Structure 1
Amino acid sequence: MGSTRNALEEVKLNVNESMGLRPAERRTQLAPVSSAKDVGRVPLRTFGKIDVNRVIPDPDQPRTEFDEQEIAKLAASIRSHGQLHPIRVRWHESNEKWIVISGERRWRATKAAGLPNVNCFFVEGEISEPEIREQQLVENLYRRDLNSMEEARAYQSLMTLNEWNGKQVAESLHLSTSRVSRALALLDLPEELQSQVESGTLSKSSAYELSKLDNDRSISELAAKAASGELPHAKAVRQVKIRRGKKVSKARSGIHLVFAAENGAKVTVTATTKMNYHEVELGLNQALDDVRHRIRNNIKLF
């Protein structure tokens, strides 16, 4: 009789859970008798499954574009292996729904996979708007899911919400100030060029250089050449300097390329003869092998 009652109670809990209802004191069931496998385990009330339709995306999150092919690939994986990582959600009183804090891509893939429930961490306590935006931004930045304009707008949003400047944003997110300032500079571009950066037609490095110009006509003219491939980044830098009245060094007979990393490092490639990008790539790979050799042999920089 006891086992039947327990079975019925478990069915009731599962039904409630599928409807998005969770008992106030739900606990993970550990072994009734102390067992080695349960040592150190802590039951969590804030973790469980919920009807996938009881969850909605956050309309204000930094990421606005999702690759449908990537969603389909993830959906196929979830269909085969299950959802390996839960999403984080918070309750929204007026909508009477759970809103995604992080993991919208997994939620979309779970829906696309046709699964009825999604695994969630339920954030029960109060969480402020700036905290939500910061958490979403950090997750997307570390997974490199944001395009350049989404990243810039997210920084601007944090500045507005917290009344921060660019340096404070960089410190909070543990990023270089140059990365933040270069991103924010893109917001000074005309809307048309921001759209080109967002679509990938115009590289963010060339767009950053163009943001230094005050003349919209000059910006549009150089942007068109950069987008068509007629104006490589190095030439874009040179043209911007000329139009700003800056001193420009004489053109070199070989190549002189500078690649800026987001951690503040710059990699310079120079050669006395002309090279194509395949040859540049070969040289960089050889240099990378040398760096890795030094790391393996614990060779110190200082």
Structure 2
Amino acid sequence: MTDITTTATPEVTEVTETAPAKKATRTKAAAKKAPAAKKVIEPTKVSKRREVVAEKAVETKVKADTQKVIPIDRIDRDPNQPRELFDQAKLEELAGSMRELGQLQPISVRYDTGTRRYTIIMGERRWRAAKMAGLSEMTALVLHGAVGGSRELLAKQVAENVGRADMTAMEEAKSFKDLEKAGYTIEEIGRMCGKSPAYVGWRIDLLKLCDSAQDALAKGLLGVNLAWYAAQLSPQNQMRFLSRYTQGGFANDRDAEAFVKACRAEEERRESQGSFFVLTEETSGKKGDVQESILGDHDVPEEERERIISERSKLTKKIERLSAAGEILAELATADPEELALLLAGAAGGVDVHNKRIGHLRKLTGQVIANLTKAQAIASVRAGGIAINPDAVALEAPEATEGTTEAEVAA
């Protein structure tokens, strides 16, 4: 019994001593792996966070605009400013206000690191008035990151100025065209400036005006609506129409507009026939000349001339019969209202029915007048212009001989 106990005891002791040794080995292996995991993951996450924070700091620094007081002699106007004309009287009013109250609203500028000067983005009118008022410095919002001549900066300037009462139609037209060249669509320009696409396109069309017509529009000698119609004409006809218009050749703008429309229609008609139409410098205005120009020896067949003469006779006879209606209307116009009430009250329909009949005639008369105004414009255009056949001009042009200059040939 003693031997068995003695033998078992060492085995148990041996087992007890061996087991803890294995656990210690595993713990040491796990301890070795833990630092390796920290080296791969943690530093990478930290560096990424630092990069993101740094990028945001740079971005914030670029976008942060600052307001500061700048000496007025370090501020320049932007040569790409949409507005070119400034009302002198209104500038003087603003200058007077600045003398009394100072600058109430800051201007917007960008800083040029090369010249170390500031260029106006928005507020040139205030800057001009401040100089007139004798101010030595101005409060300005410096827009960091703004690039001169960029499409975004141009869009801001145009949107800020369009719609102002003192911005001319030609300034708007040039501004819209610059935005279009910068890559904006007509629809985008309209949305940015609060205008319809039709309005934007209408303004851009004004750039087709010749220089003299643009100048007349800028000076208020030519209305915007009439100018748009004139812009559809060829440059030569624009010049001749403008000469006639500024010399009082039309009773009103409605007649001038009808003339321009008729002129454009005649240009299109002649183009379809392979020629082009040019208004003459002066027109005689004689009825015979007008009739001959309408008949057109060169473009109206003989049978058509006979039809025109026949229809003309019928139409003029009908118009002559209107003289009787004119006498009746004149009588009603001068009649005593008391007498009219007494006579027509007992008639069928009373005064109301007869009043509606005259109102209907008045409506028709207005339509007839509008139609005849167009007809008068067409007749005037054809009487005041000539059709030129390009082929005929080419055949009749003298050829330059050796030693002959182009100027001599043209003469």
Indicate the RMSD between aligned Cα atoms, in angstroms: 2.5
SS of residue in 2 equivalent to 1:75: helix
Amino acid at match of 2:167: L
Amino acid at match of 2:179: L
Alpha-carbon distance in structure 2 between the residues aligned to 1:81 and 1:230: 51
User: Given that residues 58 and 101 in structure 1 are in contact (C-alpha distance below 8 angstroms), is that contact kept between their aligned partners in structure 2?
Assistant: yes
User: Given that residues 90 and 100 in structure 1 are in contact (C-alpha distance below 8 angstroms), is that contact kept between their aligned partners in structure 2?
Assistant: yes
Amino acid at match of 1:180: V
User: Given that residues 58 and 100 in structure 1 are in contact (C-alpha distance below 8 angstroms), is that contact kept between their aligned partners in structure 2?
Assistant: yes
Q: Which runs of 5+ in 1 are unaligned?
A: 1-43, 247-270, 275-302
User: Given that residues 207 and 223 in structure 1 are in contact (C-alpha distance below 8 angstroms), is that contact kept between their aligned partners in structure 2?
Assistant: no
Q: CA deviation at 1:132?
A: 1.5
SS of residue in 2 equivalent to 1:142: coil
2:167 pairs with 1:146? yes
Q: What is aligned with 2:105?
A: 85
Q: Which runs of 5+ in 2 are unaligned?
A: 1-63, 267-361, 367-411
Alpha-carbon distance in structure 2 between the residues aligned to 1:86 and 1:155: 26
2:243 pairs with 1:224? yes
Q: CA deviation at 1:78?
A: 0.3
User: Given that residues 146 and 153 in structure 2 are in contact (C-alpha distance below 8 angstroms), is that contact kept between their aligned partners in structure 1?
Assistant: no
Alpha-carbon distance in structure 1 between the residues aligned to 2:200 and 2:117: 34
Amino acid at match of 1:106: R
Amino acid at match of 2:171: E
User: Given that residues 206 and 226 in structure 1 are in contact (C-alpha distance below 8 angstroms), is that contact kept between their aligned partners in structure 2?
Assistant: no
Q: CA deviation at 1:229?
A: 4.7
SS of residue in 2 equivalent to 1:245: helix
Figure out how many residues of one structure are paired with residues of the other and give that number: 206
Alpha-carbon distance in structure 2 between the residues aligned to 1:73 and 1:222: 38
Q: What is aligned with 1:130?
A: 151
Matches within 5 A, 1:10-21: none
Alpha-carbon distance in structure 1 between the residues aligned to 2:194 and 2:201: 14
User: Given that residues 229 and 261 in structure 2 are in contact (C-alpha distance below 8 angstroms), is that contact kept between their aligned partners in structure 1?
Assistant: no
TM-score, length of structure 2 as denominator length: 0.46
User: Given that residues 89 and 99 in structure 1 are in contact (C-alpha distance below 8 angstroms), is that contact kept between their aligned partners in structure 2?
Assistant: yes
Alpha-carbon distance in structure 1 between the residues aligned to 2:191 and 2:89: 35
Matches within 5 A, 1:40-189: 46-127=66-147, 129-162=150-183, 164-189=184-209
User: Given that residues 91 and 99 in structure 1 are in contact (C-alpha distance below 8 angstroms), is that contact kept between their aligned partners in structure 2?
Assistant: yes
Alpha carbons of structure 1 residues 140 and 228: separation in structure 2 relative to 1, 3 Å: farther
Alpha carbons of structure 1 residues 118 and 228: separation in structure 2 relative to 1, 3 Å: farther
User: Given that residues 186 and 207 in structure 1 are in contact (C-alpha distance below 8 angstroms), is that contact kept between their aligned partners in structure 2?
Assistant: yes
Alpha-carbon distance in structure 2 between the residues aligned to 1:45 and 1:137: 21
Q: CA deviation at 1:228?
A: 4.2
Considering only CA atoms, is the larger Rg found in Structure 1 or Structure 2?
2
Q: CA deviation at 1:94?
A: 2.7
2:214 pairs with 1:194? yes
Q: CA deviation at 1:217?
A: 3.0
Q: What is aligned with 1:239?
A: 259
- Deviations 1:95-125 (Å, cap 9, x if unpaired)? 3211000110101111111111111111113
Amino acid at match of 2:95: A
TM-score, length of structure 1 as denominator length: 0.62
Judging by fraction of residues, say which structure has more strand.
1
User: Given that residues 213 and 219 in structure 1 are in contact (C-alpha distance below 8 angstroms), is that contact kept between their aligned partners in structure 2?
Assistant: yes
Q: CA deviation at 1:235?
A: 1.6
User: Given that residues 49 and 118 in structure 1 are in contact (C-alpha distance below 8 angstroms), is that contact kept between their aligned partners in structure 2?
Assistant: yes
